[in-house]
Amino acid sequence: MGFNISLSGINAANADLNVTANNIANVNTTGFKESRAEFADLFSATSYGLSKNAVGSGVRLTNVAQQFSQGNNEQTGRSLDMAISGEGFFTMSMNGARVYSRAGNFQTDQAGYVTNPQGARLQVFAPNADGTSFDSGRLTDLQLLTTDSPPKQTGKVNVAFTLPANAKQPTLATFDPTDSNSYNQSTGGITVYDSLGVSHTQTSYFVKTATANEWQVYNYVDGQAVGTPTTLSFNDAGALTNPANGQIVMDPFTPTTGAGTLAMTLDVTGSTQYGEKFALRNTQQDGYAAGKLNEITVSETGVVYARYTNGDDKPLGQVALTTFNNSQGLEAKGNNLWVETFSSGTPRTGAPDSSNLGKVQAGSLESSTVDLTEQLVNMITAQRNFQANSQMVSTMDQITQTIINIR
């Protein structure tokens, strides 16, 4: 009996050493969660139950429990490296099967899909048609775009300025955009884009009239007039009163590039007239040329953006995180992957930084949760347990030999 008890102790100590060895081996494994060997004592029972004088039958390994604590998030600067700060697992698809991981060292395959080193594809919520929200009921593989960003035709030009209230009429009565003596000020030229992404120059010229607080604005594109002059009127406090809505609709401009007609509106809302020098306070337009992919970025809420050289940002999806009622019930599959089981409970998938899910930290990786000092102490303890149980076997052997040698 004593041999079996000691043998169970040796087996338990050996299992403890194996778990410790595995933890130490994975001290630098991204997203690794340390494990802990858990044991329970053994009793031999009869048909009448346990005797109150029962000694016990040894020990057995009941569980190797993974400890899902938060590891340190270490900066890498790589755009496809992601770490979860808080609860949740990255949701991935491996040959059609759902798998989960805390390791965010992603890369792209030959088709542009974002995968882990074993080829499991990262799952995201697909963007809706409007590009501003995501379909939380539909998961899809994250695929990075390799095509150019198409150009966007300019539709609105925003200009905010302050005109000098003490300005005089130009010396030349007839307006000529090539002669600065025929106008007081100009916007200097704002770059706008046609449907093919070809740039054009839109310029507004301001001419003071004989009427107090009144100006004429002439709009040109590439030196060609786009409409008749528009009257700008200001009240005695310097605020714009005409046009009342601040909108000036320019006549259509037909580019020679083969692009579609360029129809634009000039928005002068917020412009003023004061007793100071001319000041151009804002010039913006909503078009852009074609752009090349510049970088991939990920927000804290897991939104993956493709950023282009033309300033366009296109959302590609929102990283899906999954959590479980009992994370220790997950089945480890190796390669930093887990799958759900009956014990883990039903997976709950959602967007980062929602419910009890953590945030996504881009350009970082979660380090292993193994504390090397703690594991070395565990190793010494398990080694001593092994030695003690081995000594018990030797002692039992000596006792047995003594009994055998009795005559």
**Tens digit of each residue's pLDDT (9 = 90 or more) over 251-262:** 999 999 899 999
- Report if residue 338 sits inside a domain: yes
> What number is the average pLDDT over the span 199-216?
96
- Report if residue 300 sits inside a domain: no
The confidence score (pLDDT) of residue 12 equals 85
Say if residue 161 is in the same domain as residue 224.
Answer: yes
* Residues across the chain: 407
- DSSP secondary structure, 248-284, as one string: EEPPPB--TTSPPPB--EEE-TT-EEESS--EEEEEE
> What number is the average pLDDT over the span 168-173?
93
Say if residue 260 is in the same domain as residue 209.
Answer: yes
Say if residue 172 is in the same domain as residue 231.
Answer: yes
* Amino acid making up residue 365: L
- Report if residue 240 sits inside a domain: yes
The confidence score (pLDDT) of residue 52 equals 63
- Report if residue 290 sits inside a domain: no
> What number is the average pLDDT over the span 350-354?
92
Cβ distance 341 to 282 under 8 Å? no
Question: Residue 208's domain is classified under what CATH number?
Answer: 2.60.98.20
Say if residue 82 is in the same domain as residue 94.
Answer: yes
Q: Number of structural domains, the chain?
A: 3
Is the model's pLDDT at 360 over the cut of 90? yes
- Report if residue 310 sits inside a domain: no
Is the model's pLDDT at 47 over the cut of 60? no
Say if residue 94 is in the same domain as residue 46.
Answer: no
Looking at the chain, the whole-number percentage of residues with pLDDT higher than 90 is 66
- Report if residue 267 sits inside a domain: yes
Q: Give this prediction's pTM.
A: 0.73
Cβ distance 234 to 241 under 8 Å? yes
**Tens digit of each residue's pLDDT (9 = 90 or more) over 104-131:** 999 999 999 999 999 999 999 999 887 7
**Higher pLDDT pick, 391 / 271:** 271
**Tens digit of each residue's pLDDT (9 = 90 or more) over 324-349:** 999 999 999 989 999 999 999 999 99
Q: Which two tokens stand for residue 169?
A: 């009429």
Going by C-alpha positions, the residue among 234, 236, 258 that lies closest to residue 244 is: 234
Cβ distance 321 to 351 under 8 Å? yes
> What number is the average pLDDT over the span 78-88?
93
Domain carrying residue 210: 156-285
> 60: Cβ–Cβ under 8 A, 6 or more apart, which residues?
8, 12, 39, 40, 42
Going by C-alpha positions, the residue among 289, 312, 283, 291 that lies closest to residue 190 is: 283
Long-range contacts of 11-16 (CB under 8 A, 24+ apart): 11/61, 12/37, 12/39, 12/59, 12/60, 12/61, 12/385, 13/382, 13/383, 13/385, 13/386, 13/389, 14/386, 15/61, 15/64, 16/378, 16/381, 16/382, 16/385
Q: CA-to-CA distance for 101 and 260, rounded, in angstroms? A: 49
Q: Which two tokens stand for residue 26?
A: 């994975």
- Report if residue 149 sits inside a domain: no
- Report if residue 325 sits inside a domain: yes
